[in-house]
Structure 1
Amino acid sequence: MTTQENVRRVLDWAVAEIGVPGIVAEVKDGDQTWFASAGVADIRTGAARRPGEYLHTGSSGKAFTAAVLLSLEAEGRLSLEDTVNTRLPGVLGTNGYDGDKITIRHLLSNTGGLFPTGLAPEVSHRYATRSGILEHRFDTFTTEELLRIAVSQPPVGAPGDRFEYANGGFHLAGAIIEKITGNTYAEEVDRRVIQPLGLTHTRVRPLDDTGYPAPHPRAYSTLFLKDGADPSTVTPENWESLMEEPGQPPLDVTEFNTSLAWSAGNVVSTTGDMIHFVDSMVTGSLLPPAQHRQLWTTVSTEGSYWMPHARYGLGMFEFDKQATGGRTLRGVGGSLWGTWFLAVGTPDDQHTIAVHTNTEWKSWDLMFKLIEAEFGVAIGA
């Protein structure tokens, strides 16, 4: 069976077995590219998914934030070892955070000790239930609100002690970009990443945007707590037990204000553009060599509730070589209501796969099956 056939079987499995409405995969292998899909872009009409769709890439946008800050470092306008207080005086002066000890590197590597931002009551009470989503789906978050939420709960550890996935660290990073440059975060991403790479179908989503250019799939969510569950009781340990039972009808969340994500992941793109972006970040064609090495100076994610068998660089991940049999596989990923995106590539032969589902993350098995089908690597086996 060919690689393409293996990938297509995984796509069909995702639709048939784990409840994905529609899924696409685009692959670049040397000079060859190909595309496959399964399921539908629109449950109501039955329209098929297609190449060139505009997608929300979720936390993949963290890599764009890292790229901008590394570009600024290359110009000598900052150092990754700068503390937050150096660049944003006083922002971390609450709830036990020490802005004199948390550095830009800590923010970009999720090692600053910030709590998981999605567990903040200001967030969970708006979006944890179906009724909450319907009431708050068009809420707009300002930078000031995001920075306040980032430190609204106490630290989970000391700076540099361990990995803990926290959107708030990237919101601080976005604010640092704006403070140093005097431009908006979106303008700097466009100037330093999107334009140099020619990503003509990519942009940071505007603050008040709630839709997508055509063509795009509908977005469907089933990521809700059970009726009566208190969002304030959710922890990284118990969240799965509090979720709705499987089999509930999906909620169409295509029209949604995602300003909550901002510099932690609010990039709209296509699978083709994201393959080009990931290639540039994995192979080192966008950043100078010194910054490329910084990007891929990784920390272990072991012991966290994030992706297994991985190490984290600056806004991007690398699979642990012990889990890949020594092969280097690097990429980005992200999930938000109604969307899950993954792009993984190799630094040696520019072999990259980009995958999108029009529902949020369902299972690590989907990612691992796709990696095995495309690269012949059984993660963790």
Structure 2
Amino acid sequence: MTNTDIQQVLDWAVAEVGVPGIVVDVKEGSRTWFGTAGVADRETGARRRPGEYAQIGSGSKAFMATVLLGLEAEGRLSIDDPVNTWLPGVLDVNGYDGDKITIRHLLSNTGGLFATGLAPELTDRYATRAAFLEHRFDEFTTEDLFRMTVSQPPAGEPGERFLYANGGFYLAEAMIEKITGNSFAEEVERRVFRPLGLTSTYVRPRGETSYREPHPRAYSRQFFKDGTDMSAVTGENWESLLEDPGLDPLDVTEFNTSWEPGNIVSTTGDMIRAVGALASGTLLPPAQHRQMWTTVSTEGANWLPHTRYGLGVFEFEKAATGGRTLRGVGGSYWGAMFFTVSTADGEHVISVQTNIELLSWEVLRRIYEAGFGVSLGA
């Protein structure tokens, strides 16, 4: 496969899928390539360009896991410590048991926590355009996030299965701060950003609602029809309740994301360095590197197809890659999608960012198939 093949996917994503703007950064050994399609700003027509800052969304989970694994390597905690060791009582609510749920469970999304992103505290504020416009600058405190984490009963037993739950990472961030006495921003800067030379990566300060320059405008179609009763949305009827796909996307660039675990902003260039290091093991000691990439199946969890999940990171199933190891970090939320995938040696890394949430798995599938020369299945 060639970079021409990737460029064709980018053009298709804009023309056929409806992505406003997309960039792909590729590192293969000493060679690099940057491709783009669409626009950074739908009003001015400004093109996308290298070095743009964007929210990495759930990509922050990998950085949280890295900090906690680093603390384990120093003997300051065990990844198998129960949550109650460090945050006593926080999880002893609504059927949860903080003596049974461990740090490993939180970082691997196997703690039995319900899908926090479906909590009414979020859906009532952001699931429709009208609600989003009313609540986009609301701020969540740490106590708000803890309450939301346990606001619904458990979805399973600890260790039973993978279920994506942001709430586990609210607790992980709080543990980092309690154990170190420093903010997550200070710890991740010292342990990850600075050692890797990530000069264009930062934790968004609480209350900040935009990005450093340069950055694309962020757009979203991730809404139900205005007036939708979110309590009536089910797995069977949700598609019929989505807003008209012909509507223009909403500009959601200015947005208080205090509920986003980690809240990290980065560039494709920095994420290539970060994920290459995490995939190859140059940042963590061998024992902790192995733990990060000890994975569980995501089958049946409505997550990325053909993947397994580690500690804040994912790996494509080898059956889908012809036996090759491809490791990744990614996230998608209102107005941004940011995925970075690397070979196990960190030598071939592809970072993708769109200024809209993930509209179709096909976009990522086609890019990574073209870039790595694999077949990831439908």
TM-score after normalising by structure 2: 0.98
1:293 and 1:236, CA in 2 relative to 1: closer, same or farther beyond 3 A? Answer: farther
Alpha-carbon contact 2:57-2:264 (below 8 Å) kept: yes
User: What residue number does 1:171 align with?
Assistant: 170
* In the alignment, structure 1 residue 334 sits paired with structure 2 residue 331: yes
Distance 2:358 2:236 in 1: 17
Distance 1:68 1:16 in 2: 40
Distance 1:234 1:176 in 2: 34
Distance 1:297 1:275 in 2: 21
User: What residue number does 1:86 align with?
Assistant: 85
Segments of structure 2 that go 5 or more residues without pairing to the other structure are none
User: What residue number does 2:315 align with?
Assistant: 318
Task: Note the C-alpha offset of 1:144.
Answer: 1.2
Task: Note the C-alpha offset of 1:349.
Answer: 5.6
User: What residue number does 2:273 align with?
Assistant: 276
Alpha-carbon contact 1:210-1:257 (below 8 Å) kept: yes
What is the correspondence of 1:74-223 to structure 2 with a 5 Å cutoff? Answer: 74-223=73-222
* Secondary structure of the corresponding residue to residue 327 of structure 1: coil
TM-score after normalising by structure 1: 0.97
Alpha-carbon contact 2:28-2:349 (below 8 Å) kept: yes
Alpha-carbon contact 2:58-2:261 (below 8 Å) kept: no
User: What residue number does 2:299 align with?
Assistant: 302
Distance 1:366 1:101 in 2: 39
User: What residue number does 2:251 align with?
Assistant: 252
Segments of structure 1 that go 5 or more residues without pairing to the other structure are none
Task: Note the C-alpha offset of 1:333.
Answer: 1.0
Distance 1:368 1:74 in 2: 35
CA-based RMSD of the aligned residues comes to: 1.1
User: What residue number does 1:354 align with?
Assistant: 351
Q: Kindly tell me the number of residue pairs found equivalent between the two proteins.
A: 378
What is the correspondence of 1:58-77 to structure 2 with a 5 Å cutoff? Answer: 58-77=57-76
Distance 1:157 1:53 in 2: 40
One-letter amino acid of the structure 2 residue matched with residue 297 of structure 1: T
One-letter amino acid of the structure 1 residue matched with residue 247 of structure 2: Q
Q: Deviations over 1:20-69 (max 9, x none)?
A: 00000000000111101000000000000001101111110100000000
Distance 1:278 1:238 in 2: 37
Distance 2:34 2:238 in 1: 35
User: Percent identity of the aligned residues?
Assistant: 68
* Secondary structure of the corresponding residue to residue 262 of structure 1: coil
- List structure 1 segments (4+ residues) > 2 angstroms apart after TM superposition: 232-242
What is the correspondence of 1:25-64 to structure 2 with a 5 Å cutoff? Answer: 25-64=24-63
Alpha-carbon contact 2:58-2:332 (below 8 Å) kept: yes
Q: Deviations over 1:300-351 (max 9, x none)?
A: 0011111111000000000011111111101011111110011001013610
Task: Note the C-alpha offset of 1:227.
Answer: 2.6
Task: Note the C-alpha offset of 1:236.
Answer: 5.3
Alpha-carbon contact 1:119-1:234 (below 8 Å) kept: no
Distance 1:277 1:360 in 2: 22
Distance 1:183 1:141 in 2: 20
* Secondary structure of the corresponding residue to residue 131 of structure 2: helix
* Secondary structure of the corresponding residue to residue 209 of structure 1: coil
* In the alignment, structure 1 residue 15 sits paired with structure 2 residue 2: no
Distance 1:196 1:326 in 2: 31
Q: Deviations over 1:83-116 (max 9, x none)?
A: 0011100001111000010000000000000001
